[in-house]
Amino acid sequence: MEEKKLTFEDGMKRLEEIVVGLERGSVSLEEAMDLFTEGTKLSKELQLILDRAESKIKMITEQNGQVTAVDFENKETAE
C-alpha cells in the first residue's frame, strides 16, 4: 500500500492537535511522551518541507535596470 505524502498543511494541523493535547494535560505521561516524540519528528519533517520550498523560490532582482529571476539559493552569486 502506498503511503500518502505529508502536505505542509496536514502536518501543521496534526502538530496543532498534538500541542493542544499536551497543553490540556489530560493525557498520561506515557501518552504525552509519545505525542512529544511525534511532534518533534513532525516538526523536523515540516522544516524540511519549508527548506525545499525556500530553495525553489525565485527572487526578483534588478540588475543594471533589468528585472531578472534568480534562484533563492544563488542570491549571493547574483549580487
- What gap in Å lies between CA 34 and CA 41, rounded to an integer? 11
Q: For residue 11, give Cα distances in angstroms to 14, 40, 56, 78.
A: 5, 12, 20, 34
- The full set of domain ranges for the chain reads 8-78
Summarised one tens digit per residue, pLDDT across range 53-79 is 877 776 666 566 677 777 666 555 444
* Chain-centre distance for alpha carbon 75: 21
Return the higher-pLDDT residue of 18 and 75. Answer: 18
Q: For residue 23, give Cα distances in angstroms to 17, 29, 40, 50, 67.
A: 10, 13, 15, 25, 48
pTM, full prediction? 0.67
